[in-house]
Structure 1
Amino acid sequence: MNAISELPRWRILLAREIRRTSVTETAKRIGYARSSVSLAYSGNYTANTDRIEARVLEILGGPEPTFFCPAQGTSITQSDCADFAARPMPTASPRALRQWQICQSCDHREDCKNAK
């Protein structure tokens, strides 16, 4: 599993918005200081994150469509699909390699890549 999928949902949403725009634009959009957003993004925000978390989820956390992923055997979002598909080919686990191979030829893959 990659590092981004281990983050809380609000941090994933924040990271995606920052990659899509910038730290400054994201800060303006959620109504926080640029420095606070930058610290939260890097995981160095020393204050309680409850408020910024709630704001990120409120502004950036709209419902994302899900579908059945044949590689993982469960329902996932398009962004999770894109993250899963972007992984490098695993070499240590036959099971992970089979999942990766299924993912590379999946019909959803292009849709998910374009949704990012």
Structure 2
Amino acid sequence: MTDWVEKLRKVVDASSCAAVGRKIGYSRVAISHIYHGRYGANSDRIRAAFLAGFGDGPDCPFLGHSISPTECVDHRSSPMPTSDPARFKHWTACQACPLNPDKKDK
């Protein structure tokens, strides 16, 4: 199994096939087929889209997988989410993350 498929499986396990598909512009079904090793067509385009969306950035300690640099910046620099407990936990983790160059040492 290729490294990118293993990364895809970790990302899907942490979220869903639908969420991964939406982020990279492919259907839930295509992501599910790759996840389960049943994708019969050439997956080079999906691989490129997945790596652009999830594989080129740092390994996020909170999510447990690599994310794009843009996604990392978006999470850590967004305003504090007060209406979604899951997003609040993620935002709080970003504020104390060792990868955050804006982290304020206390």
| Separation in structure 2 between the aligned mates of residue 45 and residue 56 of structure 1, nearest angstrom | 15
Report the counterpart of residue 31 of structure 1 in structure 2: 25
1:43 aligns with 2:32: no
Q: CA deviation at 1:12?
A: 1.4
TM-score w.r.t. the length of structure 1 is 0.47
Taking only the aligned residue pairs, the percentage that are identical comes to 31
Q: Which amino acid aligns with 1:45?
A: Y
8 Å CA contact 1:30–1:56 kept in 2: the answer is yes
**What do you get for the CA RMSD once the two structures are aligned?**
1.8
Could you tell me which runs of 5 or more consecutive residues in structure 2 were left unpaired when the two chains were aligned.
66-106
Q: CA deviation at 1:62?
A: 2.2
Structure 1 segments of 4 or more deviating over 6 A? none
1:13 aligns with 2:7: yes
Deviations 1:6-46 (A, max 9, x none): x2121012111101101111111111011111001111001
Q: Which amino acid aligns with 2:45?
A: R
| Separation in structure 1 between the aligned mates of residue 23 and residue 3 of structure 2, nearest angstrom | 18
Residue correspondences, number: 61
8 Å CA contact 1:13–1:56 kept in 2: the answer is no
Structure 1 or 2, whichever has the larger Rg, is: 1
Relative contact order (alpha carbons < 8 A, sep ≥ 6): 1 or 2 greater?
A: 1
Q: Which amino acid aligns with 1:51?
A: R
